[in-house]
Amino acid sequence: MLLLALFLTVISCTTEINTSISDNTKLALRDVGHRLLLSSQDSISLVKPVIVLTDYKYQLTFENTLTIHPDSLVAFIKSSFKKANLPVHYLTEVLNCKDQEVAYSYQMKQNIENGIIPCGGRVLHRGCYLITVKFTKTTLNNSSNKLLIGISILAFLGLLLFFFLRQKPKELVEVKQGNYTFIGSYKFYPEQNKLIKEATEINLSKKECEILSIFIERPNQIIKREELSKKVWEDHGVIVGRSLDTYISKLRKKLQEDPNIKLTNVHGVGYKLEL
């Protein structure tokens, strides 16, 4: 889940950048339209809202007819796009509204214009025109956007490394520790007097460890109180009263996290470890 969240964060940053390109392009093209109208001696009519045709392709339209000087169009788009920090690779086409025929077009690559139709300085006389701009390569010339992408990628890789390193200690617990026995979802390490459930370590006293070891040797079987007392205490020359019941109670509490494990009391006989 963490990796998915990190991935979505990077994707989100990229989406925000793409949205920024779209918004800035609309503003820049409206600025171009306004300047074209002024150059056509029109300070009254409106520039219509910029239309997004496809990904990275935009259309600029006008309320009334106008005259377009290709040299001015190239200069206006170049300067407006530069101020808006937009990509520098794009194809511009001027189309007649009536038949959608191309009246003028050029392709910008860095700072070199390649005229698709060789009509560099020919004036497009007053008429109804629409202008389309398509980015042919969306490499950003905005250093801050490049920096944002770089930081996002580095952050993703850094958090990925952090996530990987966090998993290592858990693996080492399983590999480095000596012999253990599974008791439900627990791992029992008799030599180290401990239980481990996932990342939780539960320390056992020596007596608790000895009692649990006896139960593990005979799971789901009744073990008499006398047998437990003899093996854990009397064999060492110690006589106990209620000590066995006390240790059984402690073991129950330490095993209670797994509902599939029950340390039950068989009245008048002994105890049984039910798995």
Q: Report CA Rg, the chain.
A: 39
Cβ neighbourhood burial of 90 (10 Å; 0-12, 13-18, 19+) = buried
Give the residue among 39, 37, 103 at the shortest CA–CA distance from 64.
37
pLDDT tens by residue, 83-137: 999 988 999 999 999 999 999 999 887 655 554 444 456 789 999 999 999 998 7
Quick one: CA dihedral 117, 123, 125, 127, positive or negative?
positive
CATH class of 181-274: mainly alpha
The predicted model scores a pTM of 0.46
Joined tokens for residue 59: 């259309």
Residue intervals of the chain classified under CATH 1.10.10.10 are 181-274
Most confident of 99-103, 234-238, 257-261: 99-103
pLDDT confidence tier of residue 55, bands split at 50, 70 and 90: confident
Rounding to the nearest 10 degrees, give the CA dihedral for residues 153, 170, 176, 254.
170
pLDDT (tens digit per residue) in 175-224: 344 578 888 888 888 888 888 887 788 889 988 998 999 999 999 999 99
pLDDT at 52 over 60: yes
Classify residue 163 as left (phi > 0), alpha (psi -120 to 50) or beta: alpha
